[in-house]
Amino acid sequence: MSELSEVTRMRELLKFEYYRIWKSKVLWLMVAFAALAPILAAAALSFILHEIDPELLEEINFNSSNEKFFTWYVISYFYERLPLIMALFVPLFIGRDYKDGVIRNKLTAGHTRFEIFTSYVVTQVSVTVALSIVYILCGTVAMACTKFGVNLNHGEMLLRAGTLLLALIATTTLFAVISLLIKSRAGTTVICIAFIFTLGIFSLLSTNFSYSHKMIDQYQEIYEEKVGDFEVPDMYMSYYSPKEFDRDSYFNAGWYIGHPVFLLTDASLSDEFVPDFQSMFTYSDDELFGYPKKVSRTAFVDSIYAAFMGTGSGLITDDDLKKIDGAYVSFAAAELQYNIKSIIWLGIYFGGGYALFRKKNIF
């Protein structure tokens, strides 16, 4: 069969899938959600900050960094909200084709398994990209209409959003692969939803155990250098007293699970890139509501003792932590790391999924 005919068949198959998705009422409900969610978020943010605590805002001299933070706070949440929607849409859409015999009919009509597999992955990924663009665009417009205004940091913010989108594309590919390998719509939907909620657990693990042996060694040197001259305030003497640095406590069972997850996956991406409401007051080391310039990986100081003896006490300052290699990394470096991992996992999902799909008994 000629290459041209294969390309033509693939094009026709994609047109067929896009037409079916376009006619889906569920798609337009998702588009409406993607458009309204950031608008409501921007309105709620404006209401909370201006109506509930106006005195706080009077004390703040808003600058471009604040504008960037609020813009990023609204538009970055497409990475948090869309995965669950796709975990429902993808398995239900593809699963219906199994139930109605559409996939079997495509094979009978002469389409190859690669064409069928690729057409589903491409079209489902296209839905994810389209919803993300709608979300980001509506969020940007919504912020432009608020008192804060919109600031994309000369387009740099869109690169950060691109890193989130690439990870979301890999996740959608996984959903499509699972849906093509398992005929049960209910079972596939449960698996995809479970993956989303499990990801939250692994996100917490990987973020809290992102430190390496080298980082703890450097932290220990700083700690031991300063703890000798530090006097515990009298009011805390009954709870804390200077003690030797317990290096081994940082490398417990959680670390041996969480650190490989951090190194090999995108699980920590949400915690490192997407701010939550509680972090609005602490997300930047430099200023209230500040747009972060670097990613902080200093979770290793968050033990009970280290929290007391950490940055807040004056014993170990942010300047000390910045001397530790890897404690703070630029977003450009973090984006590169996450992009590489997303591409690798995308290839694993697609390649491994197709290897299984080509041998699957569809009839």
Closest CA to 255 of 205, 218, 328, 306: 205
User: Concatenated DSSP letters for 189-232?
Assistant: HHHHHHHHHHHHHHHHHHHHT---HHHHHHHHHHHHHHHTT---
In angstroms, rounded to a whole number, what is the distance separating the alpha carbons of residues 120 and 129? 14
pLDDT recorded at residue 310: 46
Q: What is the mean pLDDT of residues 154-159?
A: 93
Lowest mean pLDDT, pick from 45-49, 148-152, 194-198: 45-49
In the predicted model, is pLDDT for residue 359 greater than 90? no
The dihedrals phi and psi of 329, each to the nearest 5 degrees, come to -125, 150
Determine the residue type at 161: A
| Tokens linked to 340 | 């590489």
Q: What is the mean pLDDT of residues 130-156?
A: 91
pLDDT recorded at residue 124: 96
Closest CA to 181 of 117, 127, 126: 117
Q: What is the mean pLDDT of residues 60-76?
A: 81
Rounded to 5°, the CA angle 242-243-245 comes to 125
- Which DSSP category does 292 fall into? P
Q: Which residues contact 112 (CB under 8 A, 6 or more apart)?
A: 6
- Which DSSP category does 291 fall into? P
In the predicted model, is pLDDT for residue 313 greater than 60? no
At how many degrees (to 10) do helices 25-47 and 113-144 cross?
Answer: 30
Q: Can you tell me which residue has the tokens 């919109």? A: 150
Q: What is the mean pLDDT of residues 331-353?
A: 96
Lowest mean pLDDT, pick from 21-30, 315-324, 336-345: 315-324
pLDDT recorded at residue 29: 95
Give residue 314's pLDDT band: very low, low, confident or very high (50, 70, 90): low
Average pLDDT, the chain: 84
Q: What is the mean pLDDT of residues 318-341?
A: 91
- Which DSSP category does 295 fall into? E
In the predicted model, is pLDDT for residue 107 greater than 70? yes
| Tokens linked to 167 | 């990870």
Q: What is the mean pLDDT of residues 325-344?
A: 94
Give residue 76's pLDDT band: very low, low, confident or very high (50, 70, 90): very high
Lowest mean pLDDT, pick from 87-91, 252-256, 273-277, 341-345: 273-277
Q: Which residues contact 114 (CB under 8 A, 6 or more apart)?
A: 354, 358
Give residue 282's pLDDT band: very low, low, confident or very high (50, 70, 90): very low
In angstroms, rounded to a whole number, what is the distance separating the alpha carbons of residues 82 and 128? 8
| Tokens linked to 237 | 């003497």
In the predicted model, is pLDDT for residue 4 greater than 90? no
pLDDT recorded at residue 3: 53
Closest CA to 197 of 275, 83, 279: 83
Q: What is the mean pLDDT of residues 81-96?
A: 92
In the predicted model, is pLDDT for residue 231 greater than 80? no
Question: Where do the domains of the chain lie?
Answer: 3-200+341-357, 213-333
Closest CA to 125 of 358, 350, 340: 350
According to DSSP, the residues that pair with 294 across neighbouring strands are 330
Give residue 307's pLDDT band: very low, low, confident or very high (50, 70, 90): very low
